[in-house]
Structure 1
Amino acid sequence: MKLLVIEDEQSLRENITDYLNADGNICESCGNLEDALRKLTDYHYDCVLLDIGLPDGDGFTVLEYLKAQGKMEAVLIISARNSLDDKLNGLNVGADDYLTKPFHWPN
């Protein structure tokens, strides 16, 4: 499976990427909106793990871009934002699920 992790917190981004790569996936990552949109333009991914709080914009822009381009990547939002409005917005714009931080990896 080819995955893209879009997360601005470097240590979390590296931990997620390392975990997914160790499980046999091809996992790329980036830490801002600009790099995310460039990668999504140039490559196809099976799944995107998306933080909506990015330093140069809102992760919801990624969802809108995927929808506008007719791309079919599955999207899992991982965010510290846990308001009902954010969750509904993410799911309505096209995310497949919404996971709030902090969360725990299996051992």
Structure 2
Amino acid sequence: MKKLLVIALLFASTTAHAGRIKEVVIMATEDVEHTLNLFNPDFRYVIKGQGFTEADDSTGTAIQTVVSVRNLITLQTREWTCTTQFHKTPEFFEITYTICK
């Protein structure tokens, strides 16, 4: 019975951890959308890749997002690589900044 309880607790913590990682990725995506003004109806975009990258400080984390943006007026497409830096807080993470190049 103890083994079953331990397995249940491990599974619950793993699921919670995965949910928190997903939340950080969603926060990064939303900040990239805001930084690049992707809510503009003249733009269409595709996220080509997203993953963790090296953070500025040892207590934080960073997400790198590669986005292809098409301007529907000029028909030009540009690819951006954005890095969103997070700072660890007692409750969770906060976005420090997002830079797109």
TM-score (norm 1): 0.23
Question: Of Structure 1 and Structure 2, which has the larger fraction of its residues in strand?
Answer: 2
Q: Which has the larger radius of gyration?
A: 2
TM-score normalized by the length of structure 2: 0.24
